[in-house]
Structure 1
């Protein structure tokens, strides 16, 4: 049965164009939303196991802005980079190259794992006027409120990589496990919105290329956090954090904001690590005001 998309009408009103660009020996698939003539461009990087679809609800609530949203290498429609360990250094290098080729001078936005990739890229030389981090990973994942679950996830991804290929792939794409992950992150009590969240994860959470790239990206996601890069980022930075995030507690996000030379923090109540699905309007309002104070969401 089809699950209604609560933001479909807004998305349908936006021009959307699919593109492909060769970057570091691989062809990156990316989507362009809004007018190509907009004076503001935001290059948005999705989170772990997702693809560009995950950021569409936020895009839908930011009018007048051109969004460039790629699928990370090894996820969605973008194949892995050949002969590459997909660690954080590789993803940061890819983002620097992609931005130079497609959206030089764009504001950079990253969600969750994308917040680490975006921060690492900016700290290592990606020129951007502003940086936006949504649900930023502001502390070690193993130390978060659900550190035990993160350790279980470590075992899960290790098992997926170590088992015979057929069994490992089946484990990593198991729909019951994907649903359990989705249920653990969702905070909304709205049954329709919960169905939408689960449907999005069912559709896109297993769109990774293979178990090797998935394992590499997972290791990168739990081995790094934004704190290491914050002092090196000297452009205006916006953190959009959730007060019920089980991966980085709000207290850690408040501390993270103090590590940047120039950062502001917007806290969204009653939501966890799925700001982009559950409260995209609130996130978009913060993004629009930060990107262009004259705009609204």
Structure 2
């Protein structure tokens, strides 16, 4: 999310790692035992972090891709008084239905196969450079060489940055079994949807349905972009977030 943060210099931006990724360890219960990583648990994590940082009515909450599901679940279940909710590349459609089904079936098979392999082989499979390249080709839209090189480097650095295979598989299940639509009607916040015009992980009908289900929803299409709007059109996303912030009374520092 660095490019979006860079394009919002007047804002103080917090970008936490998802639990079990990057520098953030998997979450554990009060007794120290491992806890299953579900959408509900991720929503609690957002609530705990917001409470710790003192965030609320004067702040915007932004999620990207799977983060749009997590942030939507948080907004629906915890009712924190954010100024507004912005959802970049929102997951609006059930991937196991319609035109998204073939691709989802392949991804499901990939994760199921990774579970059958021994730990070392399974991790090698999950961090495969070939899989990363397939992801780049599948999700990229109109990339020039400079952007292609940048995205490849970002994925090389961070795509395999999970702490353990079980956490990764649980987060995959959470990301593939829910959409923003599951929580939209319960979100009592001004909400801005920012899908890429060529996002192949959503449909026009899905986006419109979510917008209409949101009590205070609005939709702004990011032209010339696919699902990876945070790489492809970060300035446009930041511009939309800034405009939305002004509408809901947040203007940055």
Query: TM-score, normalized by length of structure 2?
Result: 0.91
Residues 1:99 and 2:50 aligned together: yes
Residues 1:218 and 2:172 aligned together: yes
Within 5 A, what are the aligned runs for 1:250-261?
Answer: 250-261=204-215
Residues 1:125 and 2:78 aligned together: yes
Residues 1:68 and 2:14 aligned together: yes
Structure 1 unaligned blocks of 5 or more: 1-54
Aligned to 1:134: 88
Aligned to 1:249: 203
What secondary structure, in the 3-state scheme, does the structure 1 residue paired with 2:23 have?
coil
User: CA 1:144/1:71 → structure 2, altered by over 3 Å: closer, same or farther?
Assistant: farther
Shift of 1:142: 2.0
Shift of 1:143: 2.6
Instruction: Write the distance in 2 (CA, Å) between the matches of 1:151 and 1:200.
Output: 26
Instruction: Write the distance in 2 (CA, Å) between the matches of 1:60 and 1:249.
Output: 29
Residues 1:176 and 2:130 aligned together: yes
Aligned to 1:148: 102
Offset from partner CA, 1:161-205 (integer Å, 9 cap, x none): 221111111110111111211221111231211111121111110
What secondary structure, in the 3-state scheme, does the structure 1 residue paired with 2:78 have?
coil
- RCO (CA 8 Å, sep 6+): is it higher in 1 or 2? 2
Structure 2 unaligned blocks of 5 or more: 29-33
What secondary structure, in the 3-state scheme, does the structure 1 residue paired with 2:218 have?
strand
Offset from partner CA, 1:87-119 (integer Å, 9 cap, x none): 111111111111111242132110010000000
Aligned to 1:112: 65
Residue-pair matches, total? 242
What secondary structure, in the 3-state scheme, does the structure 1 residue paired with 2:210 have?
helix
Higher helix proportion: 2
Query: TM-score, normalized by length of structure 1?
Result: 0.78
Residues 1:268 and 2:219 aligned together: no
Higher strand proportion: 1
Shift of 1:129: 1.8
Instruction: Write the distance in 1 (CA, Å) between the matches of 2:54 and 2:18.
Output: 15
**Which 4+ residue blocks in structure 1 deviate beyond 6 angstroms?**
none
Instruction: Write the distance in 2 (CA, Å) between the matches of 1:111 and 1:120.
Output: 13
Instruction: Write the distance in 2 (CA, Å) between the matches of 1:137 and 1:288.
Output: 22
Aligned 8 A contact 1:79 1:209 in 2: yes
